[in-house]
Structure 1
Amino acid sequence: MKITALRTYPVPPRWLFLRIDTDEGVTGWGEPIVEGRLRTVAAAVAECAEYLVGKDPLRIEDHWQVLTKGTFYRGGPVLSSAVAGIDQALWDIAGKVHGVPVHVLLGGPVRERARVYSWIGGDEPNHLAEAAQARVDEGMTAVKMNASAQLRLLDTPAQVRAIVERVETVRETVGPDVDVAIDFHGRLSLAMSRRVLPLLEPYLPMFVEEPILPELSHRLREVAASTSVPIATGERLYSRWDFRPVLESGVSVIQPDLSHAGGISEVRRIAAMAEVYDVAVAPHCPLGPIALAASLQVGFATPNYLIQEQSIGLHYGEGHDLLDYLVDRSVLTHKNGFIDRFDGPGLGIEIDERVVERVSRYADEWRTPIWRRDDGSLAEW
């Protein structure tokens, strides 16, 4: 069997799909994307295709090694994301060739279902309680919220109180039996994180995500030591080498992204490394159905898996929901806060190629919003 072609498809709302074809008619799908840099990643995939076409698709590890280490300049979000999508597609092909789901190839399942959570907003406090209640009414047992919009490096007591009040509102709405995770998107400075996080302790968050920027990972030990709230990070880390110092800092949860951190092959290794530090894995995935399916395949086979992010019904996907790209939507439909293990070959999903072909003709390039503080300086989004 030989790889014959790699083709990328930009699709709404802000994703990139990849199809890898073979001379025996077996096709694999992946999702290589850096949100806001779609065309850049597509170009990187095309460069990788120069090496892959004509090669055996089942030599997944060898291809991963060549694509990540076969050039003098390595790593970074663009190359790692291109490799991630390719890796997903190659595992999809391997599973289809052997007639088994990817989690069987990874050693077999360790759970029957994967717990998931939904995002409820929070940049602005409007309708936060209603959004949280709606997710609970859908059967969700965990939600994630942003707790602020743009912040100063050292913000006012009023802004600190506003963060706490948003969390308090959601906790009071969902009650003690529902988990609440809080995402700061790196918007807190180190000083602000040490001020804010202890004030959130009474509301027992499941975790606080990216309290500080990934560039400041060498200071995470101080953040973790300042609070009993579990610290999570990792969506902007791209390899096990990036994760090693973070694991040593005292974080409780890591969040590698299957479309950014080298795909199934690398995230599986990152998860095994995290187990040594008693750190749980909650894969980052505000993306499409291929990335979610790949994340779940790893989750089904990973002992220290905690919970899975997913974007079904998310606000930015209105009109182009994750499930719209599937022939069988039931595979990724959550029930009572879980997605049942699915056992179809490969990634276990069937992409509706007619929908992909149609929408890729008019998909727009999404760009990261630019936020500014009240003094005009750039703020973290």
Structure 2
Amino acid sequence: MNIARIETFLVPPRWLFVRVETDDGIVGWGEPIVEGRAEAVAAVVATLAERLVGADASRIEDHWQVMTKGGFYRGGPVLSSAVAGIDQALWDIKGKALGVPVHDLLGGAVRDKVRVYTWIGGDTVEALAEDALRAKENGFDAAKCNAAAQLGPIESPAAVRAIVDQFTELRAAVGDGFDIAIDFHGRFSTAMARRVLPLLEPLLPLFVEEVVLPEFSRDLAAVTAGTSIPIATGERLYSRWDFRDVLPAGIAVAQPDLSHAGGISEVRRIAAMAEAYDVAMAPHCPLGPIALASSLQVDFATPNFLIQEQSLGIHYNQGNDLLDYLVDPSVFAFTDGYVERPTAPGLGIEVDEAAVRKAAEDPHRWRNQVWRLRDGTFAEW
């Protein structure tokens, strides 16, 4: 069962898929992507393929070690995302070859269903509340939204109160039986985070995510010590070594991305590390169906799992959505805020290869926005 060929496909809305085929005809799929840098990741996948084609597809760990450490220069999101997608595809192949879902290969399921949350948005408090109530009507009992748009290092009292008032009204609209997660998106300075978080405490958020940028991870201990709100981070941390510095800082939730942080192999190890610090897992996944399928395989085998992000209907999905590249989209049927355990071999999904190939004929060129403050300086998006 040797690797015969590796192909990548840039497909809308902003995704990159990788297809790995063995010489005996087994096909595995992965999703290697850095949003806004998809072409760079595809180039690295092609470079890694030079060593992989002709090799035994079943030697997943050996391939992971060589892909991540075989070059003199290591690390970074582009390399780790390329590795992640290939790693997902190799696990998909191995599960299909053995006729079992990947979570069986990770020790077996520890739960029967996985809780998921949805995204809500809106330019006004009223629109945000309407979106949350719609999600509630659709069976979800948890949602996440961004806390604010452009922010300076230390904002005015009016700006701070606007953030707090928005979530006060949202909590009043949905009630206490609905969980709200708040994504700071790295837009808050450490000082702003410490100012705003205590004001949000009475609203009991499920967690507050990425309160500071990853380069300020060393300051997380000061942030977590100053609030009772569970702090989540990790979507821009790419290895267990990155998480080694934040796990002792008092965070409550680790959020590695299965398409960024080295794939199933590495996120499984990050989860085990997090468990030793009493930190729950909520994998980041505003991406496509292969990334979600990979996340779910880890979720079902992870004792310290909390909740799973998914992108159905998210504002990024313009033109194509989460279910568009699947032969059977019912595998992601969300019922009462949960998804059932997949039982099909490999990642548990069947990718519609014809649809992928057709979509890739018109590859996307998605780029994130660049924001500026009133004085013209760069602002975190």
Structure 1 runs (4+) deviating above 3 angstroms are 122-126
Kept after mapping to 1: 8 A contact 2:125/2:169: no
Cα deviation digits, residues 302-341 of structure 1 (max 9, x gap): 0000000000122221431110110001001211100000
**Matching residue of 2:362:** 362
Q: Confirm whether residue 55 of structure 1 aligns to residue 55 of structure 2.
A: yes
Contact 1:122 1:148 in 2 (8 A): no
In structure 1, C-alpha distance between the alignment counterparts of 2:258 and 2:170, rounded to whole Å: 29
Does the 8 A contact of 2:33 with 2:41 survive in 1? Answer: yes
| Secondary structure in structure 2 of the residue aligned to 1:316 | coil
Is the CA contact 2:122–2:131 (under 8 Å) kept in the aligned structure 1? no
Q: Relative to structure 1, is the Cα distance of residues 124 and 14 closer, same or farther in structure 2, using a 3 angstrom cutoff? A: farther
1:13 partner amino acid: P
Q: Write out per-residue CA displacement over residues 69-89 of structure 1, whole angstroms, 9 at most, x where no aligned residue.
A: 111111100000000000000
What are the equivalent positions in structure 2 for 1:241-320 lying under 5 Å apart? Answer: 241-320=241-320
3-state SS of paired residue (1:229)? coil
Q: Aligned equivalents of 1:316 and 1:200: distance in 2?
A: 27
CA-CA distance at 1:369 after TM superposition:
0.5
Q: Distance in 2 between matches of 1:256 and 1:196?
A: 25
Q: Which moved more, 1:213-222 or 1:309-318?
A: 309-318
Corresponding residue of 2:28 = 28
The residue that corresponds to 1:13 in the other structure is 13
TM-score (norm: length of structure 1): 0.99
2:129 corresponds in structure 1 to 129
Unaligned ranges ≥5, structure 1 = none
* Distance in 1 (alpha carbons) for counterparts of 2:379 and 2:123: 13
**1:46 is the counterpart of 2:84:** no
Q: Which amino acid aligns with 1:307?
A: I
Cα-to-partner distance string for 1:275-306 (whole Å, 9 max, x where unaligned): 00000000000000000000000000000000
Aligned to 1:118: 118
Q: Deviation at 1:363? A: 2.5
> Separation in 2 of the partners of 1:49 and 1:172?
53
AA partner of residue 117 (structure 2):
Y
Q: What is the distance in 1 between the residues matched to 2:107 and 2:38?
A: 33
Partner Cα distance (1:125, 1:85) in 2? 38
Superposed CA offset, 1:330-363 (max 9, x none): 0012111000001000000000011101111112
Q: Does the aligned pair in 1 maintain the 2:125–2:170 contact within 8 Å? A: no
| 1:322-337 paired onto structure 2 within 5 Å | 322-337=322-337
Match of 2:91 in 1: 91
Q: Which amino acid aligns with 2:74?
A: R
Q: Report the Cα distance in structure 2 between the residues aligned to 1:69 and 1:195, rounded to whole angstroms.
A: 41
**Structure 2 segments unaligned to the other structure (5+ residues):** none
In 2, the alpha carbon distance for the partners of 1:232 and 1:170 equals 20
Distance 2:123 2:364 in 1: 24
Which residue identity is paired with 1:349? Answer: I
The one-letter code sitting in structure 2 at the alignment partner of 1:245 is D
Letter in structure 1 aligned against 2:142: A
Deviation at 1:147, TM superposition (A): 1.3
Q: Structure 2: how far apart are the matches of 1:2 and 1:166? A: 55
Task: Write out per-residue CA displacement over residues 45-86 of structure 1, whole angstroms, 9 at most, x where no aligned residue.
Answer: 000000000000000000000000111111100000000000
Query: TM-score if structure 2 supplies the norm length?
Result: 0.99
Matched to 2:231, the amino acid is I
- Aligned residue for 1:180, secondary structure, equals strand
* Percent identity over paired residues: 66
Aligned partners of 2:220 and 2:246 also within 8 Å: yes
Residues 371 and 125 of structure 1: CA distance in aligned 2, closer, same or farther (over 3 Å): farther
CA contact (8 A) 1:119 1:145 kept: yes
